[in-house]
Amino acid sequence: MLRAGTGEGQGPGDWIMDEAETVPEETQAPVLRDHPLRYALTNELHARPFAELAAPEQASHFAMLAPEGAPKQDDTAARAHILALCRRHGVAEPPEGATHFAADFGAFRLKWERHTEFTTYTFFHRAAFAEPFAEAAAGRVPQDWLAALPGQRMVAAHVALLPCEGTAPGAEDLARWFVADSLCHGRMIGGAAEVWTDFRIHADGFTRILLRDCGLVPRQAGRLVQRLLEMQTYRNMALLALPLARETGPDIARIDQSLAALTAQMKTLRSMEDERVLLDRLMTLSGEIEETIAATSYRFSAARAYGTLVAERIREIREERVPGQATIGEFVTRRLAPALRTCESVAERQQALSERATRAANLLRTRVDIALEGQNRDLLASMDRRARLQLRLQQTVEGLSVAAITYYLVSLVGYALKAAEQAGAALPVDLLQGLSIPLVALLVWLGVRLVRRSLTGGEP
């Protein structure tokens, strides 16, 4: 029961419930049946949390691609490799079926993520450093374990996070760390960070990203670093389709010319045999087109998806231009966009070729069908003529049959009359036998007609 509050700190408009009273059972929330994926789908929003970074800090990032021909990273090998590192350092292992894992190994921290086509390993180390890329975080990882990472290295990058205290890196430092021709410099997240990178693979086999913290909170710094690394990873994954597009281009041009030549021949066909030969060639060409599409469609679709992710990451870092410097977004877009357009163009040409070949084959099949219908019409007319000839022949045979049967039956009548005459009956045998001819002929004709009607079901 609710009553007005009278205790200390309670006003006249406050209501409280008696301690002895409970909520009636019928007013409690009902127990509902959950969908089996409810928790998994909700927890997906919280999967792959960002690392917390604070300057000075270094990171080393690896993206390992699945072996050639495998559409999905070998989960067993990647998980076994992580378990080996955890057991080696006495760290709690990731749960079965985990797609991401983060742990502190003492000398370094690891963030592991498994994606559809690749697996990423990012190592962090927080400590002061004199040179950003002289001693990287990956140097603190057991080198034998690092050398045995499963898959093929697609991306390898070093990241150095500088504190805002002190002067910004000078031109001489940047020239020592980066290639000046492709150096990009931008301010991120409303000026809270400055980033330098040249997207080059240096002598140690790593690309380099230098980040100066000018007011980032640890989680914000982790988000920014992850987006910059994802930008490099997704960019390379998108560009995987470019060599395939270049290889496919000459085949598409050859098929296009062959299809145009076959289509032009349709106007000069003279016989059914020519149409069948041309249709066979069209079917062979259509098979080549579909084979090409099947070999490239997955890679081209993946390139579109990765390109979209790169564009999203560029928007998320909220980059601002530094006067006189190329921005990271501009540099990536200027190189990536033409490659993606090339892949898209090849995919569109493949689809257009498939549709053209289908239309040409349909037109040719229509011609063949029309010709076959003409042949069938002529064949049916010929069969109809033969049927009429057979009917006339049958009618002639029926007339002869009536005459023959009448002859034999009249002979039998004559034998019967002669037998009766020999028995003593006074009968005019020849007269009666002659008079029986029309009657017997009529009966035989009616009998043949009835038999024919019974066999034909009454049809004329």
| Phi and psi torsions of 400, nearest 5° | -65, -40
| Phi and psi torsions of 152, nearest 5° | -115, 135
Q: Is residue 12 part of a domain?
A: no
Q: What is the DSSP secondary-structure string of 263-315?
A: HHHGGG--SHHHHHHHHHHHHHHHHHHHHHHHHHHHHHHHHHHHHHHHHHHHH
Q: Is the bond leading into 56 cis (omega within 30 degrees of zero)?
A: yes
- Which pLDDT does position 447 carry in this prediction? 81
Same domain, 370 and 402: no
Residue 1 — pLDDT band, cuts 50, 70, 90?
very low
pLDDT above 90: percentage of residues in the chain:
36
CA distances from residue 40 to 33, 43, 46, 438 in whole angstroms, order as listed: 15, 5, 10, 102
- Mean pLDDT is lowest, of 187-191, 318-322, 456-460, for 456-460
Q: Is residue 36 part of a domain?
A: no
- Which pLDDT does position 108 carry in this prediction? 94
What are the tokens at 147? 């050398």
- Contacts of residue 417, defined as CB under 8 A and 6 or more positions apart, other chains included, come to 427, 429, 432, 433
With 0.95 as the threshold, say if the pTM is over it: no
- Strand pairing partners for 194? 187, 212
Separation of alpha carbons 406 and 396, rounded Å: 15
The more confident residue out of 108 and 411 is 108
- Which pLDDT does position 2 carry in this prediction? 43
Separation of alpha carbons 15 and 169, rounded Å: 64
Separation of alpha carbons 313 and 319, rounded Å: 10
Same domain, 303 and 176: no
Q: Is residue 307 part of a domain?
A: yes
One-letter amino acid at 304 equals R
> What are the helix (H) ranges across 50-105?
75-89
Same domain, 63 and 187: yes
Domains identified in the chain, total number: 3
Same domain, 373 and 447: no
Same domain, 304 and 407: no
**Helix/strand/coil (H, E, C) string of 185-228?**
EEEECCCCEEEEECCCCCCCCCEEEEEEECCCCHHHHHHHHHHH
The mean per-residue pLDDT over the stretch 369-374 comes to 73
Domain of residue 428, residue span:
393-456
pLDDT tens digits for range 235-273: 999 999 999 999 998 989 998 888 888 888 877 777 777
Q: Is residue 398 part of a domain?
A: yes
Separation of alpha carbons 389 and 11, rounded Å: 117
Which H or E run includes 61? strand 57-65
Separation of alpha carbons 14 and 7, rounded Å: 10
pLDDT tens digits for range 42-71: 777 766 778 889 889 999 999 999 765 454
- Which pLDDT does position 68 carry in this prediction? 58
SS3 247: helix
- Which pLDDT does position 120 carry in this prediction? 94
Q: What is the DSSP secondary-structure string of 160-178?
A: EEE-SSSPPP-HHHHHHHS
Pick from 151, 182, 217: which residue ends a domain?
217
Q: Is residue 296 part of a domain?
A: yes
Please work out, in degrees rounded to the nearest 5, the angle formed at the alpha carbon of residue 299 by the alpha carbons of 201 and 259: 125
One-letter amino acid at 56 equals P
Residue 84 — pLDDT band, cuts 50, 70, 90?
very high
Same domain, 140 and 267: no
Question: Is the Cβ–Cβ distance between 214 and 193 less than 8 Å?
Answer: yes
Same domain, 338 and 417: no
Q: Is residue 386 part of a domain?
A: no
- Mean pLDDT is lowest, of 161-175, 183-197, 211-225, for 161-175
The more confident residue out of 229 and 260 is 229
pLDDT tens digits for range 286-343: 888 889 999 999 999 999 999 999 999 999 988 888 888 888 888 888 889 999 999 9
Same domain, 136 and 262: no
Same domain, 255 and 180: no
Q: Is residue 245 part of a domain?
A: yes
Chain length of the chain? 460
> What are the helix (H) ranges across 317-428?
328-422
The more confident residue out of 228 and 12 is 228
Question: Is the Cβ–Cβ distance between 121 and 62 less than 8 Å?
Answer: yes
Separation of alpha carbons 298 and 241, rounded Å: 9
The position carrying tokens 């049809």 is: 459
Same domain, 57 and 172: yes
Same domain, 373 and 406: no
Which H or E run includes 16? strand 15-17
Same domain, 370 and 432: no
Residue 458 — pLDDT band, cuts 50, 70, 90?
low
